[in-house]
Structure formats: C-alpha cells, structure tokens
A = this chain, B = another copy of it.
Amino acid sequence: MTGGEVLGSNQLDETHDPSRRSWIASANVSGADFPIQNLPLGVFRQGGRLGEPRIGVAVGDFILDLRGIAARIEEEIEGASQFLAAPSLIPLMNQEPRVWSAVRKLIFRFLEAGSPSRHVCEPHLVPMRAAEMLMPVRPGGFIDFFASIQHATNAGRLFRPASPLLPNYKYVPIGYNGRTSTIRCSGAEIFRPNGQRKPAGQDQPDFGPSSQLDFEMELGIFLSGHTQIGQPVPIAGAWSHIFGFCLLNDWSARDIQAWEYQPLGPFLGKTFATSISPWIITADALRPFRVPAFARAAGDPTPLPYLFNAADQDAGSVDVKIEVWFRSESMSADSRPSRRIGAASTRELYWTPAQLIAHQTSNGCNIEAGDLYGSGTVSGETEHSLGSFLEITFAGKKPVAICDGVTRTFLEDGDEVTLKGRCRRSGFVSIGFGNCSGVIVPGPSM
C-alpha cells in the first residue's frame, strides 16, 4: 500500500455506508458507540482469572468472539484461524493492512441486517456485561507526545508566563518514553502514588502521598508492522503503520513531577499508572473522520521536509471529540451523575499521527506491532476545553466547582475520571470509543 493511497480520505467503502444496519438491534440505536460502521477490536475473557483471553469485536451491547468464528473466516481469509484465535492482537497486527481491512469487511457482512451468516455468529455473541475487558496488547514501547500546542502553551505559561512555548515546539514533535508495565485497562483502580515533593517555601523535600494527582485526556494510537532498526518510516507511508486508536488517561502527579523532572524529564510523576479504553477503533473505521492537519498560524514554520507531506496536510489529522467526566465518591454515594469537566477535539493537535511516526522513526528507531503512542493532553482554546486539572485550576491555584458542594484543585481519593470519545460527521454514522475510567484509591501506607 503506498502512502498516497493510505492517506487519501476518499477510500470509503460499504463499511462506512450510513444506510447499513445490523441484525443486532442495540447496534442500530442512535448514538450507540458500536454500530456496525465501527467494529473495534479488543481482548476479553469470561469466567474470571481462569478465563482465557479471546479476541472480540464490539457491536451494540455485544462482543462477537472472533476465535469462535475464526475457522469460518479462514474459508475466506488465509491464516485467520491462526491470527484470530490468538490470546492477543499482536498476530493480527502483524498482518498487512489489507488483511485488517478484509477481516473488517467480512465481519461487517456477517453482522449486517439480512446476512445469511447470522447463524454463524449468533452462538458466538457474548453480552458485554458478562465479559471482562483485558489489555488488547501488551505494548513493547509506549511514547507519550506533547502534540497539543494549546496544552503546551497552558502548561508552559504556569512556569514561563512571558514565553510559554519553548523554541523547539513548532519544529519538534516533542515526546518521551513512558512505562509499559503500568498501562491498565479502563476500570483498574488507580493507587495514589507516594513520592518526593518540595513545596515552594520548604527547604528540603519530603516524601508522601501526592497531593496534586491529575488526569490527562489523550488519544492513544496503536502501531503495527515491524520495521528494521536503521530504516525510518517516511511520512507518506506512515498510516500503514496505524492499527487503530483508543482513549488514554496519562495519570500524573504534578508535585512529584515538578521536583523530579529536571534535567531528564517526567519519571515517577507518570509511571505509577496509565489507563486506556479497551476497544481499538481501527484506522479503517476512522477514515470518514479524517480532517486536514492543524492550520498553522501565519509566521509558524513549515514542517521540515521529513515531517511534510501534502496528502497528510490534506487529510492526516483525525477528528475525535474527547470528553472528560468527573464523579466524586460523594456524588456516587448520592447517585448523582458524572459531570463533564472538559471536551476538546484531536483535530486541534499540532502534529498529525503520521508526523509522530515519521519523527519517532527518523533516527532509525524501529516500530514493533503493539507499540502505543499517547498524543499528549488534548486541550482546546476555551476554559471548557482543557484536558487536565493542571490547566483547569491553574496548577491548583483556582479551585473549580464541579457541582453543589464539590470543588476540586486536584484528584481526591474516591474520585472517578472517565474519558469518552466520539467521531461525528454529517452524512455518516457517528462512532464511539467506549469509556476509559479509573477511580483513585489510597496508596499503600508508608
């Protein structure tokens, strides 16, 4: 697949046709996260710890167990009985993008209203409430970027009011390596980390529970297709390495981070936990929601040639509206609903996914199937489009009122943070990402 083909947003097919419906009623409900135009991939199990991990596709309120129908898919797609029966998505990710598309189209055909293959699938539908979602893959590498210029500006302003953006920002897709062992699926409890902090006015640091625990609302990108060390991925071919997308909450302890991060960057302020939504929204499903790259301001530099591609500028960004919802323990106890505290679109990111890939591999670093990127906190320009408490509360200086009797500067024990994501475009069925949730629990006693 060449870059041009991949980058074009005109490659829509029957799986994007808004008139198509499923024989599964819950998939046809207006506003459902998982209509048949979505068909995200994940790994689930039933029966608790002893249940075996299986690959599934989300459709309405059900999971279609792909292992159960792998032999049927093998009749049309060679190798499917192997790569769809695996306990992880890695073997599928290691196929060519045309294989991912072929699997998608076949499942679409099976699930479409009137499909003669309905009887093949029905025995392999698992109600979502009866399944536990697992990590879709264990990423070999996790890189967190800093792609929202608005977030970079907001965060920088707290430290350098006169010149919030550093000189490299508009040239370099800034990123750093994260910790993979603590990436957890939505629903996992988040332990409040202990760490060293040195509050202003204190001579010496001390050690204790973070008092500035924060969330970061991000888009996750799962990569695929091994490359060789020493062989950069040109930007024109980068989309063929994107398997799909998820939501990602890069939990952050701002007090630990502030004291530790010079000169080598964030470490323990981040490594205690990262949460992701369990369903990978495929690059194919996102095709209708591709949009032009962020419009750089007059006077901004043109990206260097290795980061510039006309097709990427035309349709290389994605328009995912991400929202962050908050509920405190007391709100839960009173059965009060979560409150939305921020919303922004990934179309406002300064760098496209292809630019991130071209940059990350530009030094010869390889890609492995399952590698995960975080976009960095997605923030927009208004006070309601901020993706972290750091920004919403000006680093804790200005508490925010969530609802009656509940204000916050940072997260307290029992607080639940939920990210939701959705793509909408006139003339298409909107698709959702499912939830990425976590509840803060106290860390171990010291």
Footprint of B on A, CB under 8 Å? Answer: 140-141, 143, 146, 156, 166, 168, 171-172, 174-182, 184, 191, 193-196, 198, 204-207, 229-232, 253, 256, 259-269, 271-273, 301, 304-306, 359-360, 362-368, 371, 443-444, 446
Contact = CB atoms under 8 A, between A and B. Distances in A.
B231 A175 contact: no
Given A171-B196, A205-B304, A264-B175, A191 B230 contact: yes
Contacts of A172: 196, 205, 259-260
A138 B99 CA distance: 28
B260 A193 contact: no
B263 A362 contact: no
Contact of A305 (B207, B263, B271, B359): B207
A182 B228 CA distance: 10
A230 B272 CA distance: 8
Number of copies of this chain that the complex holds? 2
A147 B364 CA distance: 28
Given A141-B180, A195-B363, A268-B362, 4 more contacts: A174-B264, A176-B264, A194-B364, A230-B444
A186 to B, nearest CB: 15
A363 B193 contact: yes
A265 B268 contact: no
A204 B168 CA distance: 9
11 contacts: A168-B205, A168-B260, A168-B262, A172-B259, A174-B260, A176-B266, A177-B179, A181-B365, A204-B301, A229-B273, A263-B265
Nearest to A178: B177
Contact of A177 (B166, B267, B362): B267
Closest 10 CB pairs of A and B: A265-B265, A193-B363, A191-B230, A177-B177, A176-B264, A272-B363, A268-B363, A264-B265, A271-B365, A191-B364
Contact of A141 (B175, B181, B253): B181
A138 B263 CA distance: 28
Given A265-B265, A362-B195, A176 B176 contact: yes
Main secondary structure of the interface of A (DSSP, over half): loop
A424 to B, nearest CB: 32
Given A363-B272, A365-B271, A444-B231, A259 B168 contact: yes
Nearest to A171: B205
Nearest to A269: B363
Contacts of A191: 229-230, 364
Contacts of A196: 171-172, 304
Contact of A443 (B198, B230, B368): B230
Nearest to A210: B363
A302 to B, nearest CB: 10
B365 A229 contact: no
B264 A263 contact: no
A365 B180 CA distance: 10
A272 B364 contact: yes
Contacts of A444: 230-232, 364
A253 B364 CA distance: 12
A228 to B, nearest CB: 10
A199 to B, nearest CB: 13
Contacts of A146: 264
Contacts of A364: 191, 193-194, 272-273, 443-444
Contacts of A262: 166, 168
B180 A363 contact: no
B176 A365 contact: no
A261 to B, nearest CB: 7
Contacts of A259: 168, 172
Contacts of A261: 263, 265
Given A232-B444, A360-B268, A444-B231, A365 B263 contact: no
A305 B207 CA distance: 9
Contacts of A141: 179-181
A317 to B, nearest CB: 21
Given A141-B180, A229-B191, A365 B268 contact: yes
